Structure 1
Amino acid sequence: MSANLIPASPDTAPDRRRRFLDNRILPPVLGAANGLAMVAAAGALPAAPLPLLVRIGGFALAFGLAGRFGIPAIAAFSAARTTINPVQINRASTLVTTGVFARSRNPMYVGLTGLVAALAFALGNAWLLAAPLLYAAYLGRYQIQPEERAMAARFGADYAAYRQRVRRWL
């Protein structure tokens, strides 16, 4: 076997850095920080105004998406009496698979990303539309992937079947 086909050791320095970031920052806190950075950057970025109809339509769609997925997801976790804290994944007591969780495995993150996107549209600078994309990418790598590993370990075949049935995002 040639050296370039050997998988990297999980103990490499870049991998340790990635694991260090896994589940460290509460997604709502990161979303709020993202929002503050967007507000600060809005005036500093080169002008790239979005047309008014794009701003209004994008805001309405993104904000509606946030409400349609985020609020019912929080209510479902509350009803199931399972933790909503994404940093303490090991405290999950129930695999919620109904309601909005039958449409997305991560409706709370869909909602949070929708809020970040809504702010980008409200601020009206096209450059800011990169922020929700970067936020979603960060969540995917440092929040969702570790959660999926933990859920697979905790709920086994039930989670594997759920994962086959339902998309990660939408």
Structure 2
Amino acid sequence: MMRFLETRIPAPFVAIAIAVGMWCLPREQAMTDVAESLRLATIDLSMNLSAVVALAAFLTFWRARTTINPLQPERASVLVTHGIYRFTRNPMYLSLLLLLVAYASHLGSWVAFAGPTAYVAYITRFQILPEERVLAAKFGDEFAAYRRRVRRWI
């Protein structure tokens, strides 16, 4: 029914749209029960981890000399299973999720965490599942074994 959205909107645009939505959410559910130092540590850790994960993912794809374009997964020339891809099948999407977690923490409202949740749901349904179908068709048993070995997110 909604297949027309599959692999159509780049994940960074989805993350930006969700971040705007998070900013618009009411802030009545302030995180008053969380110490400011813990909230700031969460922001710092999430942002730094996001940068490390994204850089590792880009470098691994660059070294493998395969496409990084998620809108055209059929152009993948090799199944990347090493580097950061040994720990997560989707580190680039994970890095954006970590940024949204940092932003939700920055906003200081529990309601803002609906944003990262919506991001996971949207990206899984409209980006990851279609990519996995293509990779399964293209790389067969090799992708099936990789899927069994490595989790989708973390």
Same fold at TM > 0.5: yes
Structure 2 residue 37 is matched with structure 1 residue 53: yes
1:133 corresponds in structure 2 to 117
1:97 corresponds in structure 2 to 81
Q: What is the distance in 1 between the residues matched to 2:77 and 2:96?
A: 23
Structural mapping, 1:79-90, within 5 Å: 79-90=63-74
The higher relative CO (CA closer than 8 Å, separation ≥ 6) is in 2
CA displacement at 1:161 relative to structure 2: 1.1
2:103 corresponds in structure 1 to 119
Instruction: Calculate percent identity across the aligned residue pairs.
Output: 43
2:19 corresponds in structure 1 to 35
CA displacement at 1:39 relative to structure 2: 2.4
CA displacement at 1:47 relative to structure 2: 4.4
Structure index of larger Rg: 1
For residues 126 and 88 of structure 1, do their structure 2 counterparts lie closer, same or farther at Cα, with a shift above 3 Å needed? Answer: same
Q: What is the distance in 2 between the residues matched to 1:32 and 1:131?
A: 10
CA displacement at 1:32 relative to structure 2: 1.2
Preserved CA contact (<8 Å) 2:22 2:115: yes
Aligned residue type for 1:129: F
CA displacement at 1:57 relative to structure 2: 2.4
Structural mapping, 1:71-82, within 5 Å: 71-82=55-66
Q: How many pairs does the alignment contain?
A: 152
Q: What is the distance in 2 between the residues matched to 1:87 and 1:149?
A: 13
Preserved CA contact (<8 Å) 1:65 1:110: no
CA displacement at 1:76 relative to structure 2: 1.0
TM-score (norm 2): 0.91
CA displacement at 1:49 relative to structure 2: 3.2
Structure 2 portions without partners, runs of 5+: none
**Alignment RMSD, CA only?**
1.5
Q: What is the distance in 2 between the residues matched to 1:106 and 1:84?
A: 12
Preserved CA contact (<8 Å) 1:73 1:100: yes
Q: What is the distance in 1 between the residues matched to 2:124 and 2:48?
A: 21
